[in-house]
Amino acid sequence: MTELTKLTIAQARDQMAKGAFTASELTEAHIRAMEAKRDLNAYITETADLAREQAKASDLRRQAGKAGALEGIPLGIKDLFCTKGGPDHRRQPHPARLQARLMKAPGRASCSMPAPSPWASSTWTNSPWGCATMTRA
């Protein structure tokens, strides 16, 4: 089987439906990958505990035959979106519409808040890929 963090959303969804792995296993794989690359400064906020809780609930829904479209898929909500009460520097009294809809989607597991692009805020990643490397060429 392909490494869990390399699967597309459709592949992960289909393989979970077949019982190849659980949402908890998929989420743990993504959390480990996120933790292993902290030096890239790619995430402003990590919500691993929340993701684990959501993945466990997702596994229970799947066992009960109530899997949603994004059931068990780990998601990162970009820092460009306002979050209601979120542990980030862009707290707002209301969430952005897309973020609110994603948070209501049954079965997703939010494990991080990725850092935005360099032009969107003062937070810079240490990624050797992307637009900053083009300007050095």
Given this model, what pLDDT does residue 51 score?
Answer: 87
Residue 129, in any domain of the structure: no
Residue 127, in any domain of the structure: no
Residue 48, in any domain of the structure: yes
Question: Which residue range is the domain that position 23 belongs to?
Answer: 4-117
Number of independent structural domains in the chain = 1
Residue 103, in any domain of the structure: yes
pLDDT in tens, 28-56: 999 999 888 888 877 777 888 888 998 99
Looking at residue 16, its amino acid is: M
Given this model, what pLDDT does residue 75 score?
Answer: 82
Residue 62, in any domain of the structure: yes
- Return the percentage of the chain with pLDDT > 90, whole number: 30
Residue 46 CB burial class (10 angstroms; 0-12, 13-18, ≥19): middle
Residue 135, in any domain of the structure: no
Residue 82, in any domain of the structure: yes
Write the DSSP assignment of 70-132 as a string of letters.
TTT-EEE--TTS-EES-SSTTEESS--HHHHHHHHSTT-EEEEEE---TTTSS-----SSSHH
Residue 110, in any domain of the structure: yes
Given this model, what pLDDT does residue 5 score?
Answer: 93
Q: Is the pLDDT score of 113 beyond 70?
A: no
Given this model, what pLDDT does residue 135 score?
Answer: 45
